[in-house]
């Protein structure tokens, strides 16, 4: 599902984290989730540099709060939630967005479809409120089950399904599987 190149790069770099001073437990816990975190950030921000920065910042925040995490916590949900918050913060801060976009217009666009229907869908997803956009990205860009979508959103699985359903309605997309019980 996830690009192998992204996975290997992310895990390798995190493994080099801070040399001997790193908390190996933190590395072991977070490294497997980095590819999903990068994918989530890219789905939300649509800019590779911005996504790198968001995951970087989220990793710092996760590092600092790792000691307070309960042993039985779901690491993926916890870390993706931090990444999602970071992305949300960045999208809301227009001033920094301006600075970053202005600095990085040399960036080559990621490969993607540019026919009318793809462009329409991309624009429509961009217009979604952040919580709906996050739900759509988690479900359809990261392939997460509703249980895991709910963990990141901080809601139950049925509530996550309902949120995805509302986002699909906003996108004028009718997905029968989600309509059932939403």
Residue numbers 126-165 binding another protein by CB under 8 A = 126-127, 129-132, 136, 140-141, 143, 154, 163
- Angstrom distance (rounded) from CA 108 to CA 36: 22
Q: Is 114 in the site for another protein (CB under 8 A)?
A: yes
Q: Is 101 in the site for another protein (CB under 8 A)?
A: yes
Q: Can you give 25-79 as a three-state secondary structure string?
A: HHHHHHHHHHHHHHHHHHHHHCCHHHHHHHHHHHHHHHHHHHHHCCCCCCHHHHH
Residues recorded for the chain: 182
Tell me which of 67, 72, 174, 181 binds another protein, using CB under 8 A. Answer: 174
Q: Quick check: 15 and 31 in contact, CB under 8 A? A: yes
What mask of x and - would describe binding to another protein in positions 16 to 55, judged by CB under 8 A?
A: xxxx-xx-----------x--xxx--xx--xxxx-xxx-x
Q: Which of residues 52-71 bind another protein (CB under 8 A)?
A: 52-53, 55-56, 58-60, 63-64
Tell me which of 67, 70, 72, 176 binds another protein, using CB under 8 A. Answer: 176
Phi (first) and psi of residue 57, to 5 degrees: -65, -40
Residue closer to another protein by CB (options 78, 140) is 140
Q: Quick check: 49 and 104 in contact, CB under 8 A? A: yes
> Of 11, 155, 9, 24, which Cα lies nearest the Cα of 84?
155
Q: Is 74 in the site for another protein (CB under 8 A)?
A: no
Tell me which of 24, 25, 28, 99 binds another protein, using CB under 8 A. Answer: 99
Tell me which of 24, 65, 118, 156 binds another protein, using CB under 8 A. Answer: 118
Q: How far is the CB of 72 from another protein (least distance, A)?
A: 21
Helix (H, G, I), strand (E, B) or coil at 18: coil
């Amino acid at each position: 599902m996830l690009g192998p190149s992204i996975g290997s790069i992310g895990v390798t770099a995190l493994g080099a984290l801070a040399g001997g001073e790193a908390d190996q437990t933190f590395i072991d816990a977070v490294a497997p989730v980095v590819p999903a975190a990068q994918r989530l950030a890219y789905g939300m921000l649509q800019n590779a540099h911005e996504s790198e920065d968001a995951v970087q910042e989220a990793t710092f925040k996760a590092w600092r709060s790792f000691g307070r995490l309960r042993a039985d916590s779901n690491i993926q949900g916890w870390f993706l939630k931090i990444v999602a918050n970071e992305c949300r913060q960045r999208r809301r801060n227009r001033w920094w967005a301006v600075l970053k976009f202005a600095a990085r217009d040399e960036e080559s666009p990621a490969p993607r479809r540019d026919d009318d229907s793809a462009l329409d869908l991309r624009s429509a997803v961009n217009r979604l409120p952040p919580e709906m956009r996050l739900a759509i990205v988690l479900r359809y860009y990261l392939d997460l089950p509703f249980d895991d979508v709910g963990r990141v959103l901080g809601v139950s699985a049925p509530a996550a399904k309902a949120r995805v359903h509302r986002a699909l309605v906003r996108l004028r997309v009718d997905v029968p599987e989600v309509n059932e019980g939403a």
